């Protein structure tokens, strides 16, 4: 059986999602947006976070509740997982009704921003246009 997680249960999920590095996940775990579902309200071992079209899964994919959470996958969503075990389980549960593609996360390191490239883009703006922060 799966249960909707309130803010107190969501706090227990932080370690489960710590390797996914997403502000969307963090916003949900802090109770600002989205919903979270778990297998157990006291000691969750598997969880689903849904925020808009994004659905994240974490925890132990080798449980019957993990499969149950996958049936809780809303239509037209992007399921994001952090392990091959989860990918295999999604493919098994939703066989033939999914489209797989590689998704890349955004770098959040200011030093990786090439200022020469940005300045070049600015120089190419048509007259009357400007780029603002």
β-pairing verdict for 54-59 and 3-4: unpaired
Question: Has residue 97 got a pLDDT over 90?
Answer: no
pLDDT tens digits, 17-65: 999 888 999 999 999 999 999 999 999 999 999 999 999 999 999 999 9
pTM for this entry:
0.76
Q: Tell me the three state secondary structure of residue 111.
A: helix
Distance, CA of 8 to CA of 71 (rounded, Å): 24
Q: Mean pLDDT lowest for which of 89-93, 100-104, 117-121?
A: 100-104
Cβ neighbours of residue 31 under 8 Å, at least 6 residues apart?
7, 10
Asked if the 3-98 domain carries CATH number 3.40.630.110, the reply is yes
Q: Helix, strand or coil for residue 29?
A: helix
Confidence of residue 132 (pLDDT cuts 50, 70, 90): confident
Region 109-122: what's the mean pLDDT? Answer: 85
Q: What is the pLDDT of residue 70?
A: 92
């Amino acid at each position: 059986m799966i249960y909707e997680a309130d803010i107190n249960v969501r706090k227990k999920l932080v370690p489960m999602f710590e390797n996914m590095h997403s502000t969307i996940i963090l916003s949900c775990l802090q109770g600002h947006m989205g919903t979270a579902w778990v297998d157990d309200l006291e000691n969750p071992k598997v969880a689903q976070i849904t925020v808009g079209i994004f659905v994240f899964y974490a925890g132990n994919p080798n449980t019957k509740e993990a499969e149950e959470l996958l049936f809780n996958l809303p239509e037209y969503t992007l399921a994001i997982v952090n392990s091959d075990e989860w990918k295999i389980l999604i493919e098994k549960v939703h066989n033939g009704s999914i489209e797989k593609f590689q998704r890349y996360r955004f770098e959040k390191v200011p030093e990786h921003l090439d200022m020469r490239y940005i300045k070049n883009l600015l120089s190419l703006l048509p007259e009357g246009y400007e780029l603002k922060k």
